[in-house]
Amino acid sequence: MAQRFGGQHSPQNTSQNSPENRSSGSQTRHKTSAPGKSPRPQATPFRSAASARVSPVGLRANLMFVPPAVLLLTSLGAGAVGLITGLVAAGFWASAAVLLREGLKAQSAYEARKVARRPALPRKILAAVLCGLGGGIGAWASEPGLLTAALYGIACCGLHLAAFGLDPLSDKGVEGIDAFQSARVARVVDEAETLMAAMKDAVLRARDRQVELRVEQFQAVARDLCRTVEEDPRDLTAARKYLTVYLMGARDATIKFADIHTRSGDGQARADYLALLDDLEQNFAARNQKLLLEDRSDLTIEIDVLRARLEREGVQLDRPS
């Protein structure tokens, strides 16, 4: 015989919609929730596509580790002199590959900021020089001769520069900004980036992709605040606590969560950590918005003061209606 199925709120299920069942259901719901506490809001939707950061080190940079390995292997049977020169050339090439990776990371950080100073060490240029030295020594090992080694070295250096380009050689967006204030902002932003990197490394131990995406979303909001402070160093005083104390607390909480989640997989700890990220993201976004509004108010005041001075000088201004 067919049997009707219905849930508690089904309009056809009169027995379950009776006052007794409704009262018992409400009592059950009251028991499951703690008295005096409102339910915790759900996490905001993930913005993984917007907050994802592509690594600046691509396949081409990683392939630069192949030539020193090949040169090292081919030098093993070339005798004592060939082995030593091969080791030296491979060392130069490997050092060039490492410097190239760091140079690409520094360039990516430079391009991501509207206000940035050039890297103190031109890593990509030094990598090209080391690549040229390695190529020259390797050429001299196979065909002794100063001219041949110099030509090969210059060719390697030029090809490296053509493939990967130069380092940023000038500051960006620092016109009209006090150098001392800009240096203070740079130190705070670097500290914030270090804290966020430690936070990201810690959350990887939890092996929870959803939490990793949530951390990336929060860090994207925190970096927006960093960019706002970089554009106007006067905002550092208002944002310093967020970029140091709060990020340090977020890092410590992430480390604790990763330890607990790795040992026991506690679902309540995961929910509390996600709720903490929600609160932090909302506070960081609100602070960033407030700083932007204050900057706009400062601009309006400066415009009004300038107009008043011009009117005192007898200059007639056409105000927009």
User: What are the tens digits of pLDDT across the range 77-89?
Assistant: 777 878 888 899 9
How many CA within 13 A on the CB side of residue 33? Answer: 11
Lowest mean pLDDT among 45-54, 75-84, 130-139: 45-54
Q: What is the mean pLDDT of the chain?
A: 77
Angle at 61 between CA 148 and CA 56, to 5 degrees: 145
Query: Which of 79-83, 104-108, 177-181 shows the highest mean pLDDT?
Result: 104-108
pLDDT tens, 184-224? 888 888 888 899 999 999 989 888 888 899 999 999 999 88
Q: Is 264 helix (H, G, I), strand (E, B) or coil?
A: coil
Higher-pLDDT residue of 34, 292: 292
Q: What is the per-residue pLDDT for 310?
A: 60
pLDDT at 25 > cutoff 70: no
**How far from each other are the two terminal CA atoms of the chain, in whole angstroms?**
79
- Nearest Cα neighbor of 255 from 209, 204, 214, 194 is 204
Average pLDDT over residues 15-24: 41
Lowest mean pLDDT among 31-45, 51-65, 285-299: 31-45
CA distance 144 to 121: 33
DSSP assignment string, 158-191: HHHHHHH-PPP-S-BS-TT--HHHHHHHHHHHHH
pLDDT tens, 139-151? 888 788 888 889 9
pLDDT at 9 > cutoff 60: no
**Total-model pTM:** 0.57
Q: What is the per-residue pLDDT for 139?
A: 87
Q: What is the per-residue pLDDT for 15?
A: 40
